[in-house]
Amino acid sequence: MAHLTDMSSRILIIDYGSQYTQLIARRVREARVYSEIHPPTRSVEWVREWNPTGIILSGGPNSVYGENVPTADPALLDVAPTLGVCYGMQLISHLLGGEVIRGAHREYGRDEVIIDEGEALFAGFTPGERTQVWMSHGDHVEKAPPGFRVVAHSGKQAIAAIRHESKPILAVQFHPEVAHTPRGSEIIANFLFDTCRCTPDWTPGAFIEEEVAKIRAQVGNARVICGLSGGVDSSVAAALVHRAIGDQLTCIFVDNGLLRLHEREQVERTFRAHLGIDLRVVDASQQFLDALAGVDDPETKRKRIGHTFIDVFEEAAQSVGDDVRFLVQGTLYPDVIESVSPTGGPSVTIKSHHNVGGLKPDMKFALIEPLRELFKDEVRNVGRELGLPEEMVGRHPFPGPGLGIRVISDVTQEKLDVLRQADAIYLEEIRSAGLYNEIWQAFAVLLPIRSVGVMGDERTYENVLALRAVTSTDGMTADWFHFPHEVLGRISNRIIREVTGINRVVYDVSSKPPATIEWE
């Protein structure tokens, strides 16, 4: 359940399968109100017990007239103020006696709606005003349910928003949560603060205070271990648990030989000197190389790296003492949502997450996952509040399997050394150009391709290196970063000149979707 006192505001988001559901949660949290995403299979009794300040029904790809589509008990609409978005609006209308018409074709993209009433959701808007919105729906509401007023319409006289005349039930046929609806945050804020009377108390400081109290209550006098990777998530999780229980925490850093240049030294310096945490370092690079020998399938790589990590980690944990009862993991909210289908149905495994579902079933430790309800940007803010250095808090994401999945073939020490050196030059040049903080993630990938080149009047036949850099807010969607040409040129020249074994550099200009951010 949420890390909140009973007095705090919280919004329950029922996920009907929209690609934008996480954006709704983020927009609510940006307004400093806590939100959680749950499937439509939650019972009304469960929702009442959860005690939401407000409920948002998300969009989704289904038709209310389809077979076996997610629905809702009409009693849900009496639990708390409710906002329906797209499919959520059609569902409210369908449940309460309105008329929903099957769409002959899907309405998708930018549109304009005309505001009929400048109050409730549209407080601050002028009646008759036109505002840009983002549409994404097939069916539409032809006739509002009894007791509802139409408060916005599109130029085609289609119903764009409705509200109940006496109950706090509102709905819109567009997506206020996306950037393409410029005043969408205003509309969401009107629902949160005017309709639901929420208090904006979801802050990093409040989260830390609540979490510290919870960790202390959960742990008591037991010892706790944390697998430290040096990345943002495990670093913030370790710092937060250390704030709660101090010397009861021991961090174990496994050097798997798949790290970036000087990464081990940086972790040792930060956590021993800066935070004063009990840190044990285990050099297991040869074990990981042995486990990866001859393996080129990315999913097999991830599993072998994960299993080897657990073996090494468990052996190291035994040396800490017999009274260790808890294990800290830096699991984040998107990990949880991606790994378990939010609609309660089957979900496709895109890749195995390093932090979720990879642990052995007979593991003797109970889990502490203090960041389980946070998005990445929230984790960074908590880290800053805890006093972690910006060079650590602002670091680009780095996958648990490390460089093992950035060598697109079988992994050898020679290939890792080549990739490590090239990756370090890439990041160094990005920083010196002042671009590091504009990029969500940047990394190099060693391809299983060799190409002909010429160096010093001699023919070469060496490796091709791909560079990847993307912009994103949470890694769920991403666009490739538009480097100034002179910066890309400088990076390419340095890598080819300084890294033996590479004679060609290419840049990846694909977005997510359809591509993933990592190549494997």
Of 401, 404, 385, whose CA–CA distance to 393 is shortest? 385
Peptide bond into 401 cis (omega under 30): no
The residues, ordered by sequence, that sit 6+ positions from 77 with a Cβ below 8 Å of its Cβ are: 92, 95, 96, 167, 169
Of 175, 242, 353, 354, the active-site residue reads 175
DSSP 429-464: HHHHTT-GGG-SEEEEEEEEEEEEEEETTEEEEEEE
| Exposure string over 249-265, b if 16+ CB within 10 A, otherwise e | bbbbbbbbbbbbbebbe
Known binding positions for ATP: 229-235
Residue pair 440/478 in contact (Cβ under 8 Å)? The answer is: yes
Residue pair 9/201 in contact (Cβ under 8 Å)? The answer is: yes
Q: How far apart are CA 411 and CA 304, in angstroms?
A: 12
**In the annotation, is 177 catalytic?**
yes
Of 3, 86, 137, 164, the active-site residue reads 86
Known binding positions: 229-235
**In the annotation, is 86 catalytic?**
yes
The residues, ordered by sequence, that sit 6+ positions from 86 with a Cβ below 8 Å of its Cβ are: 18, 58, 59, 60, 136, 137, 172, 173, 174, 175
Residue pair 34/4 in contact (Cβ under 8 Å)? The answer is: yes
Show contacts of 356-361: CB within 8 Å, 24+ apart: 356/331, 358/303, 358/306, 358/310, 359/310, 360/310
Of 140, 177, 338, 520, the active-site residue reads 177
The C-alpha angle 300, 302, 305, rounded to 5 degrees, equals 105
| Exposure string over 459-498, b if 16+ CB within 10 A, otherwise e | ebebbbbbbbbbebebbbbbebbebeeeebebbbebbbee
> Could you give the residue numbers annotated as active site?
86, 175, 177
